[in-house]
Amino acid sequence: MAVPDSGPIHLTGIVGEIDDGEYTVGYASLPGSYSLKNFSTGGDDAGAINKDNRTTNRPDETAPHKMSEFYSYDHDIASPFTSTISNFTMTSTAGTGLGGLVYVLKSFTVNPHNGAVTGSIEVPSSNKGILALAMSDQGDPGTTGTANSGTGFQQQGTPCLLDFASIGSAVTVSCRFRFQPHSSGATQNVNVTFNLSGDLIDAEDVVVVTKESSRP
């Protein structure tokens, strides 16, 4: 049982949650020299905070440390995802414009949930090509970005929001990336992040490469 989401809570109960995964176990007195600071930061022998909890349901690890930061904390909660996207590379040829568009399909799986996923592509200080993202929880969004109820392509700087069609079970999110090459040869790392109901669940770098066109 997790820490209650409201009302009075006690440090002995938090000890029970972190040590035994059961807030109601508690202790008549604190074992050892544990303190609120220890449990908020994972210091001494208190054990690390389970960061698979939403950020609103776990301590922020910075002073001043507050009991209220443990509301709804669940030490046994599972990760919000069972698979993630690894860093990858997309390559096209300079000077080909829309004719040089390339696509890559990736996916990750989110455990039972009740929120929405937002994909965000950073905007580098100097773009070397244009990266865009489309998502769907019903299959590949395809090269149009809208197949299988896809979100449509959203370019760098515009969040891509996917509201889940159903809740209560694990969902595979299909992510179709589209890259439009730069006008000349260039290589750039672009950071892509995915948030579930406001909490970061995955981040990776997409290396976009524009090759110089071959000349006879």
Average pLDDT, integer, range 88-115 = 88
Residue 36 to residue 9: CA distance in whole angstroms: 12
- Per residue in 48-70, pLDDT (tens digit) is 788 777 777 888 888 898 989 99
pLDDT category of residue 30 using cuts at 50, 70 and 90: low
pLDDT at 52: 74
pLDDT at 46: 54
* pLDDT beyond 60 at 215: no
Q: Does domain 81-211 have CATH number 2.30.130.30?
A: no
Cβ neighbour number for residue 170 with a 10 Å cutoff: 12
State the span(s) of the chain assigned CATH 2.60.40.2310. Answer: 81-211
pTM exceeds 0.75: no
pLDDT at 20: 81
